[in-house]
Amino acid sequence: MDVPTGCGTALVTPFRQDGSLDEEALYALVQWQIDSGIDWLVACGTTAETPTLADDECMQVLRIVTEAAAGRVPVWAGCTHNATRQAVEKSKIAARVPGITAILSASPYYNKPTQQGQFEHFKAVAEAVELPVILYNIPSRTGVNLEPETALRLADAQQNIRGVKESSGHLAQITELVTRAPKGFRIYAGDDNMVLGVIGVGGAGLVSVASNEIPAQMAQMVRAALENDWAAARHLNRRYYPLIQANFLETSPGPVKAVLAMMGKIGEHYRLPMLPVTAGTRARLERLASELGLLAQCAERGADLRVS
């Protein structure tokens, strides 16, 4: 099975005011994403507040997303754990959910394993499933960098390791990966603000946070860059870059969930240790969303939009 190019959304997880999963809002969010032209979806990734989800809730999210997608776009399952045995087990269970097309797995967090430790960890995950596995390098969250040499060794060792979501923030490292990667091995930008640079050096696309709010616009921008229509790609990047940056004024997914709530897409509810954004951040986000026309058609949802 091939892995896609383009723009995929790292979905938020909507909650109700009592902290339970908001299945209806998640289903509607998936429908809107697909109708807007997004190329694939990531469920239970970092943006989904996955560390606060119980295992059965993760499976519930995967089932809702795949059922809503109904085969129209690929769906990746985020399967990360800092214990290899649990990462393997999560991946095996997720791979059995109908409609899951790939496993996205980040480096073990907190443990700070060596490069060889990361190699053995990811190799074990890939050996446990037949689906494509996408490595996820995000040192700001995990505390360790997955170096290009290790990623390339993994691609050589396991045929179903098919790409890497690169959130190191280092274009030189990403360029090395692109330059040395075997045919068919995809390098995806993991940071919205770096996608044009990553595609410029040969990357395959983006796993996006901002596309939760602006799926059509992010998909158009990434598609334009992949088609070498750099004038269109730069125009869209200039227009939406302030929002892209504002999504990280505070820890993600706080800002993006705040904007989605302003748009009437979800209720603005979190699970500790995540909290609502501060008043200053909220005002800035509301101003940006209004200037971009994102609030023009938002529906009132009354009490369900109150911050938990």
C-alpha to C-alpha distance for 220 and 97, rounded to whole angstroms:
30
Beta-carbon contacts of residue 291 (< 8 Å; ≥ 6 apart) = none
Between the CA atoms of 196, 198, 204 and 205, what dihedral angle is there, to the nearest 10 degrees?
-50
Closest residue by Cα to residue 132 from 3, 267, 274? 3
Q: 282 is written with which tokens?
A: 């909220």
Q: Active-site residue among 92, 123, 165, 270?
A: 165
CA distance to 125, 172, 245, per residue, from 197 (Å): 30, 10, 16
Choosing from 92, 123, 136, 241, the catalytic residue is: 136
Q: Which residues pair with 208 in a beta bridge?
A: 9
Both tokens of 253, joined, read 């997914």
Q: Are 84 and 126 in contact (CB under 8 A)?
A: no
Query: Which residues neighbour 60 within 8 Å (Cβ) at sequence distance 6 or greater?
Result: 21, 23
Can you state the percent helix, strand and coil of the chain, rounding each to 5?
Answer: 50, 15, 40
136 is catalytic: yes
Whether 216 and 240 have beta carbons less than 8 Å apart is answered as no
Residue 263: closest CA among 240, 236, 296: 296
* DSSP code at position 21: B
123 flagged as catalytic: no
Q: What are phi and psi of 74, to 5 degrees?
A: -65, 150
The one-character DSSP state at 271 is: -
User: Which residues are catalytically annotated?
Assistant: 136, 165
